[in-house]
Amino acid sequence: MTPLIDMVFLLLIFFLLTSFLSRPSIPVDLPKSETAQMSGVPHVSVIIKRGGGLVVNEEEVSDRQLFRILSQTYALQSPKELVIQSDRGVSFGRVIEVMDIAKKAGAENMSFLVERKE
């Protein structure tokens, strides 16, 4: 009986940890690229949704809030990297606006998350 209880507790811990560590994804139709390269895991990631809304840390934010969050993060962190995940339908002007906000907040290296073309 003891091994069975141990197994149940191990499974419980496993499911608690995996549910805690997994993040719900936000549906974004990423652009495709044949020359995409994978770098490390990003410290800061901004999602630009189809309507132009911004998501940071799974929370909808305004442009002003984005600036505040990035400024606080970059004051404490080095390297000052940002990964932008933009929906394919977002206008290029909106992407530039977000890049401008990030640059003013202190971002030094920016990259884009895309899907690999096959």
Using pLDDT thresholds of 50, 70 and 90, give the confidence band for residue 33: low
Write the CA distances from 115 to 26, 28, 87, 118, integer angstroms: 15, 11, 11, 9
Q: What is the pTM of this model?
A: 0.67
Residue 63 CA to residue 75 CA, distance in Å, equals 18
Residue 4: predicted pLDDT: 84
What domains appear along the chain, each with residue ranges and CATH number? 26-116 (3.30.420.270)
The DSSP result for 11-23, as a single string, is HHHHHHHHHHH--
Quick count: other Cβ atoms within 10 Å of Cβ 90?
20
pLDDT tens-digit profile of 45-91?
899 998 889 998 788 999 999 999 999 988 887 788 888 888 888 89
CA–CA separation, 43 vs 73, rounded Å?
9
* Overall size of the chain counted in residues: 118
Choice between 88 and 116, residue whose per-residue pLDDT is larger: 88
